Structure formats: structure tokens, C-alpha cells
Chains A and B, each alone.
Chain A
Amino acid sequence: MNSRIESLRKKTIQKQVAVSHERAELVTSFYKTYVGMDKSIPVQRALCLKYILENKKIFIDDNELIVGERGPEPKAVPTYPEICLHSMEDLEILDNRAKVSYKVSEETKAIYKEKIIPFWKGRTIREKIFEAMEDQWIDSFNSGIFTEFQEQRSPGHTAGGELIYRKGFNDLKKNIGQCLGDINFFNDKNGLEKQEVLTSLDIAADALIVFATRHADKLEHRARGEKDFKRKAELENMASVCRRVPANKPETFHEALQYYWFLHVGIITELNPWDAYNPGRFDQNLYPFYKKDIENGTITRKDAKELLCCFWIKFHNHPAPPKVGVTAMESNTYVDFCLINLGGVTKDNQDGVNELTYLVLDVIEEMRLLQPSSMIQVSRKNPDRFIKRALKIIATGFGQPSVFNTDAIVQEMLFHGKSVEDARIAGASGCVEAGVFGKECYILTGYFNLPKILEITLNNGLDPRTKKQIGLKTGDPENLETFDDLLDAYKKQLEYFVDIKIKGNNIIEQINAKYMPVPLLSLVTQDCIKNAKDYNQGGARYNTSYIQGVGMGTITDCFSSLKYNIYDNRRVSMARLLDALGKDFKENDILLHQLGQAPKYGNDNDDADDILKIIFNAFHELVTGRPNSKGGVYRINLLPTTCHVYFGEITGALPDGRKKGVPLSEGISPVQGADRCGPTAVLKSAAKIDHLKTGGTLLNQKFLPDIFKDEKGLQSLVHLIRSYFKMDGHHVQFNVVSEKTLRDAQKNPENYQDLIVRVAGYSDYFVSLTSALQEEIILRTAHTDF
């Protein structure tokens, strides 16, 4: 790491995260002053973005090579009052909470009080959503049956495709012009709507070009005053890069990176889409530029690496937007889920690992930053040394990169009906969600609490926590005579809640389609221009909505325990179990011990794993293929982020012996500590899920550091990965820190400020996590070699 990178890295790590009111203030002024009744909503939104980008502060850091900040300076995070509005209490909590705080200045608080809150109260998307939801939805939401993704952030989960590396915004504007001309007002009843959308895209293109030009101007100005000869040349060069992109298609490695970065900042300024934005198949998209520059001798490997490091720092400068309605206790994360994809296959199905792939891995290892996240795609075509190189980074214990199965992703995409070329340029974004980069709008709509629904079933539709009858009356469980009767009751409840969720989702999708178009995101997502439709209206080539099942391990062990103890062996009566559940197993150690003897998921035991398949299929059949309101369909994912902790908090004691409040199992990992037969058994169990029917599953494996120490251990991990992927596993990630280290970090957090661990689909600072999450990570069974 050279001194430039070292100082930039230090700066971005040490800088305190703060809330910036800049964007909120500009948006408010815009809507107060400029919005005429004569403009359509898409055009309003585009003009609003343009207004922000024309007026926001331009920040250029000393010595940086890639420019563009969303806030007035690094780590100053804007808010999005048109989506959700922070109250004064929210701002106080953000300012003062111990973990993951966002400093809020007195000035910001005053502006919020006087300007932002009075204008936006009653006008946000969040309020529209809650108003539009029916009582059943509200009850289920409050009970913790599901969460709602779009209540605080706009639809996202989108990664950039290859389009921007082939076309400049001027080229896209030309396409827009053609499509405008093609609108057939004689027989197209949506002609006007199309015209408005296309116009909005055109304005959005101008908006970003203006933003880049403003940077060019400022850079030139800086260059004129710069004494240092070397820096002066750099500034001049950067200015000329900003003059060229995004207006024109990039020609050099530097231009390609800067182009993407402007777009990234533009998209996360336009709105706060989930998972920010994402450069997608990074090494695939950037390699041609790298190759050309190296061959022409216009860049050295060292220069390229330095540019990449500067690029990495930009991601780290952009923490996730702060939530509203949070409690002081509730932790959060600064991670905004941008996930760099490396490896996999090329469009024509060849090994995609190239020289740049390894260079980026070097950068990941050296930068060791929380953001961006990174992953490797492993296809059978990729060489072992690629996996080993990644494992050596994983071994350093910072939870990156995670490991994905390209061959499974391709099949998942084909199963969804995508073309084979599109399938090959797919990848994973966010935690583990698979999608066709640049061509698919795949929206996560909310986590779905599978074990809670069993609790509701065992209480004949009543939620014991809220004391509300939120589910169906499927009967007193004591009268359910067979295991199948119980399963049927569960499936009925499941269907009932899935329906509530999907109905709500469709309404929310339409709210976003109508009130919150995203012209810039639409501009770069194919085929929004061709379809003359916004991203939020179904303009993308593929439109998928996901519901994410949480607690697969827990629900499997619960049913396994019910089957084994109550129905098959009649060791425990339903009445006794229900009584114990109600008392949270107080003074019931004998029963707990009995329940614990049932087969458990994660041990390659078919008795348990067959139940897993039943639950998976029931969920899959209820969701997959249902139409969403964008012309696409619903699918399922199995991932929790940190929601298994929240869902655990609001779920009572369960038949597998889990006590009230304890986190549910995470992703498709077994219940914490339930797997006793080592990693091969876990992988075998996990592979019994039909991964190809999902859009992503998340498996967390904790290993002690020893295994990474010698060649044999590393090689064995390569084999574990290959075997799991042969069985069509979607994803696996490794947490490599010893329990001793983690315990010590709990006791002496001050010594472990930079300790990064894998949480669930992303890494985070260990000391930032709530103690419940810390415990859970420590509890995940550690595998060692024997």
C-alpha cells in the first residue's frame, strides 16, 4: 500500500459517520419551488435529481484519483424524506446510540425541525404504504410474521450490467430519441405515459453529465492552483476523464471506473435503493479496459492497483442510509450491501478468471475494508488456485470474499426462464440474491418468519405475544391426531400469511410505480428504454419479486421434534408440550432433554432432512410463480441478513427446545450448535434443499483458523466447496476467528475496533453488533479438522 492509499484508507476508517441534511434540503426546496402541476411524476423525479446534482456541493479529496461523493463530504449520509421521514426522536437516537451511530449536528436538527419535517409529514411513501395496508397485513406485520422492505427504502437489489461499458449517456440519449419518435400515438393508448418516461430518462442522463462536468470544472480549477507538479498532472488528467464520461463511452481503465462511480453516486442520490448499487461482474466488465491499457503501455499494473484502491475507498465513504423508527438498542449496520463479483464464466461460457481477478483479490486483501463486500463465483471451469487464493484471504478472518456457485446460479436463471447468455452474466448482489445484472429488477419484499407460523398454528391462530387472533382457526392442536394433520394445519396458516404478504406487496409495488419512478436507474437497466417504462413499473427485461424465508433449521427441528416425540414415539403428550411452551420450559429440564433427542437438521440425517424438504416445498409452491404487479413473478430466497435475531425476539418457546427470544437459525445453516457431525454432514443436509428453485440461499460455516494453516487443510476446503457446488449448493461463507478471540473482543471491545466478522451475507465490525448477535456468532458450531 503506498502512502496515498494508506492515508486515504486511514481517513475513511477514522471519519465519523454523520447525517447530512444537504439532499433533504435540496429535495424540499425543489418540491416547494419548482414543481409545477404541468409536469408528470417521472419528469418531476428526473428534474429533482437534476436539481440536486446541479446544486449539491462538489467534494474532491486530497490525493484521491476517483471522484464523486453523495454527501457534501465522505461519510456524510443523506436522507430521503420523500421515502421516509426521520423524526426528531430518530435523529436524537441516531446521534446518541452507542453502536452504529450517525452524528447529527445542531444545524441539521434545526433544518429538520423547521423545514424538512413540516413539509414532508404526511407525504412520504412510507406513510402511503401503511395507509394502504389492510388490518390483516398490519396485524401480521406487528406480530413479526413478516417484514416489509419498501417501508424505508426504495426497490433496488440491482447491479449494473455491461451496458455502460459499451455506451456513453449521449448514445443512450440517442436511443431515447429514437424510441420517442417510434411512439405510435395512433394506436398506443399508453403513448403519453411512454413519452413522459422517456423524457424523464433523458433528463436523468443530462443530470449526471452535469454532475461530471461540475467535477471537471472544479478539478481544472484545482489544477491551476496546484503547486505540486505531479498532483497537477493528475488533476488535469482527472478533469479530462470527467469531461469524457459518462457522456461518452469509456476508453480507458480509469474512465471505466470513474464512469461507474458517477453512476453509482447518481443512483444512490436519486433514491435510497436497497443494497445501493453494484458494479456487478467487476472483473468481467473491467478486464477489456485493463488489457487494452496494459497492452498499449498507458498503464502499469501498479497504476491499475492504485486506481482500484481509490475506487474501493469510495465505497467505504458511503455507509448505508440511517433507518427511521429505530430504538436505541436496535443495532444496525453501516454496510450497504454492494457486492463485488469475481470469476465465474464469460458470456460464451469460458473460464472467467483473468489477470484482473487476481489483482482485485490483492486489493481486497490489502484494503481490508467493510465496504464494498466481495465474493467469488466458482464454476467448474474455474481453476482451484483461484479458490485457494480467495481462501487465503478468508483465512485472515474478515469474512470476505464469500463463495458462490456459478453453475447453480446459471441454472437458477434458466429455471426462471432467462436466456442462456443472460444467465451467464448473472451474479449475486446484496447478501446472496441472484439476478441478471443490468437487465433484471429483482426486489426483495420482506423476511418471512417460518417458525412463528408454527407458534401461531400451535395456538390455533392466536399470537401469544400480542394476544391477537391473527391467523386462521386451524383447530386445537391436541385434536390433531396425526403428524400429517399438524402439517396440514401449518400449511393452511402458511398459505394464509403468504397471501396477505403478496397482496400487500402488489399494492406497494404499484405505489412505487406510480409515485416513485427512478429515471436514472431505469436509464441503465435494460430494456427500460426500449419498453419506455420505468424500472419501478416493470420496464426491466426481467422482473422478479422475492419473499425470503427465515428459520429453515429451526422449523425443521421443531417439526422433527413433534414427529419424533409426540406422534412416532409418543414420549410426550401434546398437552404437556403446549404447557411447557407456555411456560418457556421453566423447570422443565427433563422435557427439554427429551425434545433434544429428536433428529436434527445439519447431520445428514434423512429423518430430519425429509422434513426440511416438506417445508421448503410447501413454501416454494405457495410463492413461486405467483404474478407480481410488474409482469413478473414471485420467487423465494432463503436468507436472513440479521432478521433471524429480530424474529427470534418476537417468537415464543418452540418444540425443538428453543427458548423464547433466542435467535432463529440463520439462512439455511443448522440451528446454532445442532450440527454434530462436521462440515460434510452440514453440506449434505443443506444440499437436500432444491437450491435451483430459489433465487439464493445462505450457508454460514464457522471454521477455526487452524484449518487454513497448511496446504492440506486449504486443499480440503477447496474440495468441500467443489463437492457442495456439485450438489448445486448456491453459496457458502466462512467465518474464521477463534472463539477465544471473540470472547476477548466482547470483554475488551476497545482492543478490537477493527475486528471484522461474517454476519450473514455480509461482514461487519464485531464490536458494532448487538450482544445477541455476538453470542449467536460465537455459538455457530465451529468446525475443525480431526
Chain B
Amino acid sequence: MPENPYVFKIQKYSIHDGPGIRTTLFFQGCPLSCHWCHNPESRAESLKINKEEMDKVSFALMEEIEKDLIFYDDSGGGVTISGGEPLSQPQLLFRLLDQCREKEIHTCVDTSGYGAAGILLKAAEKADLILYDIKLIDEKVHKKYTGKSVDLILENLKQLSRQKAAVRLRFPLIPRVTDTIENIGRVIVFLKENTIYRDIHILPFHKTGEGKYLSLGRKNYMKDIQPPYREKTAKVKKQFESNGFNVAIGG
């Protein structure tokens, strides 16, 4: 697998990051610092890619992506660009989206929504589907758990909606953080009042990041938190459904 400082991991046979069997590229760098982040290694600064490097890097990445074409074709899958935060590396992101479109490879961009509106809207045009995280509505709480203000994220989502971009909402179900009836209620109100989106995927918190925190020597806020019970997940699902949402569990 090609090694470069822009993409810290390539995951094949991803089946929870968009439709079908996918290859997920994890971009380096994220402006947020969510307590529950499962890719803490991604949080180093993202590097700006220069022109000379661009061809080389994108060529190698496309080569890796195209290895699994046969699986995309059979399953209706493709590529998901995730992170980190893909919007933090717009040049590489756009390049890959363009090249995939040229080759008719389905693309998803998995974003926290924390990025410049212009970049996001352009990415939405170039990609087939945006996977958009909606976590918390309360500004204070959002700041506490992610380190950044929520305003930009909500504003960006409104804009996507206005542009009628294809978006799949994803709600990370984090015990004791996002799972309160109040937060979910506010998410519902926000979405109904401001967006056209009524499909939402609940992503229950899981502990796969645990080992990474250990090896990186970072503080793991989620150490004592267990994945949500099945009943809890079902309850949240109901709350969304009774408000007219189509809900799926998992990516």
C-alpha cells in the first residue's frame, strides 16, 4: 500500500461507510478533537500538498483504489474519503473525486462538516454522496466534547440542503454525550426546520480505538464508557422514527 503523509490508512472491504463494498481512504488531519474519536492518529496537522507531489500521490492512490473495481461493480460500492477531515485537504480531495468520476467510481465523502463552506459545497458537487456527521446541537456541549463551535457545522448543513446535495446523515450514538433525549430532540428539530434530509444512520459507539490511544499515549476520555446497549439504540431509533425519519443502524 502506498505510504504518504496525506493518507494515513487505506481500508478495503469497508461495508459501513456508504453503499456496497468500499475502499476507505483516511485523510490525515482534523480540526476537531472529539473525545470518542476512533482515529486519534489522524489528528496531527494536515500537510498541504504541493503540485509536484500531487500527481505522484494521486496516481498511487488511484492505483490502489482501482484494485477492487470488481468488488465495487458487483456490490454497488466505491470509494469513501474519510479521516481525519477530508475538507482539510481540499486539493487532494478534489483531485481524487474528479479522477473517480472520470472512471465512474462511486464516491462518498465522510465529513464532520467543519470546514469552509465553499470547499464543502464543491466537494458535494464532485462526490456522489456526502456522509455528514451530526452530533450535538448545544454550542457549549459541542465545544466541550469536540473542541470547536457547532455553528459552522449546522450552517454548512443548511447550505448543502439548499443546494439539494445528496447527503446521508450520521448520528454517532455516544453514551452520556449524544444519547440524551434532549440532544436527540434538538437534532430532530434542527433537521426538520432547516434541511430536507430525513434519512439518518445511527452509528453506535464502539471501542475499536482503544488500543490506539494506548499506543499513542493519549488520554482516552472514553475509557470507562461501554458501547450502547441494543435496547438503547432501539429506543433512539424509535425517537427518530416517530418524528418521520428513516433510520438505519450502522453506516
The answer on a CB contact under 8 Å between B20 and A680 is no
Query: Of A197-205, A448-456, A566-574, A718-726, which binds chain B?
Result: A718-726
The answer on a CB contact under 8 Å between B13 and A785 is yes
The answer on a CB contact under 8 Å between A720 and B250 is no
The answer on a CB contact under 8 Å between B24 and A786 is yes
Give the residues in chain B near A680, CB-CB below 8 Å: 12-13, 21, 67-68, 71
Give the residues in chain B near A727, CB-CB below 8 Å: 70
The answer on a CB contact under 8 Å between A785 and B14 is yes
Nearest A residue to B23, CB-CB: A680
The answer on a CB contact under 8 Å between A678 and B70 is no
Nearest A residue to B67, CB-CB: A604
Interface flags, A696-714, vs B, CB<8A=1, else 0: 0000000000000010110
* Interface residue total, chain B, C-beta cutoff 8 A: 21
Nearest A residue to B19, CB-CB: A712
The answer on a CB contact under 8 Å between A719 and B13 is no
Q: Pick the contact of A720 from B1, B21, B24, B249 — CB < 8 Å?
A: B21
Q: Pick the contact of B250 from A712, A715, A723 — CB < 8 Å?
A: A712
Q: Is A56 an interface residue (CB 8 A)?
A: no
In angstroms, Cα B21 to Cα A678, docked, is 12
The answer on a CB contact under 8 Å between A723 and B12 is no
A-B pairs with CB below 8 Å: how many? 60
Q: Is B11 an interface residue (CB 8 A)?
A: yes
Give the residues in chain A near B71, CB-CB below 8 Å: 680, 719-720, 723
The answer on a CB contact under 8 Å between A677 and B250 is no
Q: Is A783 an interface residue (CB 8 A)?
A: yes
Give the residues in chain B near A713, CB-CB below 8 Å: 15
The answer on a CB contact under 8 Å between A716 and B75 is yes
Give the residues in chain A near B74, CB-CB below 8 Å: 719, 722-723, 726
Candidate in A678, A713, A786 with the most chain B CB atoms within 10 angstroms:
A786
* Interface residue total, chain A, C-beta cutoff 8 A: 21
Of residues 8 through 33 on chain B, the ones whose CB sits less than 8 Å from some CB of chain A are 11-17, 20-21, 24
Interface flags, A646-678, vs B, CB<8A=1, else 0: 000000000000000000000000000000011
Q: Is A326 an interface residue (CB 8 A)?
A: no
CB of A782, distance to nearest CB on chain B (Å): 13
CB of A728, distance to nearest CB on chain B (Å): 12
The answer on a CB contact under 8 Å between A715 and B11 is no
Nearest A residue to B14, CB-CB: A786
Q: Is A681 an interface residue (CB 8 A)?
A: yes
The answer on a CB contact under 8 Å between A684 and B68 is yes
Q: Pick the contact of A681 from B12, B17, B75, B250 — CB < 8 Å?
A: B12
Known contacts A678-B11, A680-B13: does B67 contact A716 (CB below 8 Å)? Answer: no
Give the residues in chain B near A273, CB-CB below 8 Å: none
Q: Is A695 an interface residue (CB 8 A)?
A: no
The answer on a CB contact under 8 Å between B11 and A786 is yes
The answer on a CB contact under 8 Å between B68 and A716 is no
Candidate in B71, B77, B249 with the most chain A CB atoms within 10 angstroms:
B71
Give the residues in chain B near A722, CB-CB below 8 Å: 74
The answer on a CB contact under 8 Å between B13 and A783 is yes
CB of B95, distance to nearest CB on chain A (Å): 23
Known contacts A710-B250, A719-B74: does B67 contact A681 (CB below 8 Å)? Answer: yes
Give the residues in chain B near A726, CB-CB below 8 Å: 70, 74
Give the residues in chain B near A684, CB-CB below 8 Å: 67-68, 70
In angstroms, Cα B66 to Cα A680, docked, is 12
The answer on a CB contact under 8 Å between A715 and B75 is yes
The answer on a CB contact under 8 Å between A785 and B16 is yes
Q: Is A538 an interface residue (CB 8 A)?
A: no
Interface flags, A767-786, vs B, CB<8A=1, else 0: 00000000000000001011
Give the residues in chain A near B70, CB-CB below 8 Å: 684, 723, 726-727
Give the residues in chain A near B75, CB-CB below 8 Å: 715-716, 719, 723
In angstroms, Cα B155 to Cα A538, docked, is 80
Nearest A residue to B1, CB-CB: A677
Q: Is A679 an interface residue (CB 8 A)?
A: yes
* Interchain residue pairs A-B with the least CB separation, the first 4: A719-B75, A678-B13, A678-B12, A716-B15
13 other A-B residue contacts (CB within 8 Å) besides A684-B67, A719-B74, A722-B74? A678-B11, A680-B12, A680-B21, A680-B71, A684-B68, A716-B15, A719-B75, A720-B13, A720-B21, A723-B73, A723-B74, A726-B74, A786-B13
Q: Give 17 A-B contacts (CB < 8 Å), ordered by A residue.
A: A678-B13, A680-B13, A680-B68, A681-B12, A681-B67, A684-B68, A716-B15, A716-B21, A719-B75, A719-B77, A720-B71, A722-B74, A723-B70, A723-B73, A785-B13, A785-B14, A786-B13
Chain A residues within CB distance 8 Å of chain B: 604, 677-681, 684, 710, 712-713, 715-716, 719-720, 722-723, 726-727, 783, 785-786
